[in-house]
Amino acid sequence: MSRSGAELLVERRGPTLVMTLNRPEVRNAVNASLAEALACALADLDADEALRVGILTGRGASFCSGLDLKAFLAGEPRSVEGRGFAGLTEAPPAKPLIAAVEGAAMAGGFEMVLACDLVVAGDGASFGLPEVRRGLIAGSGGLIRLPHRIPPQIAMEYALTGDMMSAAEAHRWGLVNRLAPTGEALGTAQALAARIAGNAPLSIAFSKELITGAATWTEAEAWDRQRQRLDTVIASADAREGAEAFVQKRPAVWSGE
């Protein structure tokens, strides 16, 4: 089942929700209506128990060039209240989100990628924060997230020079999980999503929560939160199902409970 709008294409592929930025004529630059549509799609991803993983990609030659400056000059808001730029950067979904990147992910487009949990990139993809070349700063999470994803010195270099990072370089620094031949990023991302979706929903949710939160929690907070989540998981129906499936040498059938 798919749902198409002028700016965003949304398609359910089994337990995966594929969201495609659909403004190729402006390199998928984000205007207010695209941001609102993406915010709604991400809310649907979290609300629908049948969905396990989201994929964010762009139509055409670029992933996303960032903010639509013409829309901005026309007075359109650049953020969605409570969710940040593009309806994503300040409030990513609770469920895993994979960026499938072809072409350039620049400025806010790169910040959208950084708000995702995993990144698959075509060989010709590139990433950059060129804001310093325009008298601006990467204010939608790029300067906050990039030094946690790659070595801080490397993040500093790219943030201060505004240079673009190739897909191969991004993969070398661990920013990109999978490299794919040009044009095959989405297919590779779907295969990765399928591997994730085959696992227990509660385990996936708690694992993402703990990995994401550990960067800002104190050690004591991290252990306390992990203990709480572990107690919940161990008492779940899916933990028993996982053990029984292993013993009986059969695929597990997850209930999410």
CA dihedral 38, 167, 173, 45 (to 10 degrees): 20
In this structure, are 20 and 102 located in the same domain? yes
CB 82 within 8 Å of CB 101:
no
| Residue pointed to by tokens 């941001």 | 35
Q: Name the band, by pLDDT with cuts 50, 70 and 90, for residue 3.
A: low
**Total residues belonging to the chain:** 257
In this structure, are 140 and 161 located in the same domain? yes
| Residue pointed to by tokens 């204010």 | 139
Specify the pLDDT at position 248. Answer: 94
CB 24 within 8 Å of CB 62:
yes
Three-state DSSP class for residue 119: strand
In this structure, are 64 and 137 located in the same domain? yes
User: Which residues pair with residue 179 across a beta bridge?
Assistant: 121
In this structure, are 171 and 231 located in the same domain? no
| Cα atoms found within 13 Å of the Cα of residue 2, Cβ hemisphere only | 9
Q: Which of 173, 197, 221 is the last residue of a domain?
A: 197
Q: Is residue 156 part of a domain?
A: yes
Sheet holding 126-128, edge to edge: 104-106, 126-128, 164-166
What spatial distance separates the first Cα and last Cα of the chain, rounded to whole Å? 26
Token pair for residue 189?
A: 């991302």
Q: Is residue 147 part of a domain?
A: yes
In this structure, are 187 and 219 located in the same domain? no
In this structure, how many other beta carbons lie within 10 angstroms of the beta carbon of residue 165? 24
In this structure, are 64 and 52 located in the same domain? yes
Of residues 20, 215, 198, the one with CA closest to residue 98: 20
Number of domains comprising the chain: 2
| Residue pointed to by tokens 């593009």 | 86
Q: Is residue 175 part of a domain?
A: yes
Specify the pLDDT at position 73. Answer: 85
**157-194 pLDDT per residue, tens:** 999 999 999 999 999 999 999 999 999 999 999 999 99
In this structure, are 19 and 130 located in the same domain? yes
Residues of the chain with pLDDT > 70, as a percent, come to 98
Domain that holds residue 68: 2-197
Q: Name the band, by pLDDT with cuts 50, 70 and 90, for residue 2.
A: very low
Mean pLDDT of 195-199: 95
Mean pLDDT of 90-112: 97
In this structure, are 67 and 144 located in the same domain? yes
Q: What is the Cα 139 distance to its own chain's centre?
A: 17
CB 230 within 8 Å of CB 209:
no
Q: Is residue 257 part of a domain?
A: no
Q: Is residue 149 part of a domain?
A: yes
- Asked whether the CA dihedral 142, 145, 151, 153 is positive or negative, the reply is positive
Cα(179)–Cα(21) distance, integer angstroms: 21
Report DSSP letters for 135-177, one per residue: T---TTTHHHHHHHHS-HHHHHHHHHH--EEEHHHHHHTTS-S
**38-58 pLDDT per residue, tens:** 999 999 999 999 999 999 999
In this structure, are 75 and 128 located in the same domain? yes
Catalytic residue positions, numbered: 111, 131
In this structure, are 159 and 47 located in the same domain? yes
**106-148 pLDDT per residue, tens:** 999 999 999 999 999 999 999 999 999 999 999 999 999 999 9
CB within 8 Å of 98: residues ≥ 6 apart: 53, 54, 55, 56, 116, 117, 118, 119, 120, 189, 192, 193
CB 32 within 8 Å of CB 71:
yes
Mean pLDDT of 25-30: 96
Q: Is residue 256 part of a domain?
A: no
Cα(140)–Cα(110) distance, integer angstroms: 10
In this structure, are 120 and 96 located in the same domain? yes
**65-91 pLDDT per residue, tens:** 999 988 888 888 878 999 999 999 999
Q: Is residue 218 part of a domain?
A: yes
Specify the pLDDT at position 5. Answer: 60
Whether the pLDDT of residue 1 is over 50: the answer is no
Q: Is residue 253 part of a domain?
A: no
Token pair for residue 88?
A: 């994503």
In this structure, are 52 and 158 located in the same domain? yes
Q: Name the band, by pLDDT with cuts 50, 70 and 90, for residue 231.
A: very high
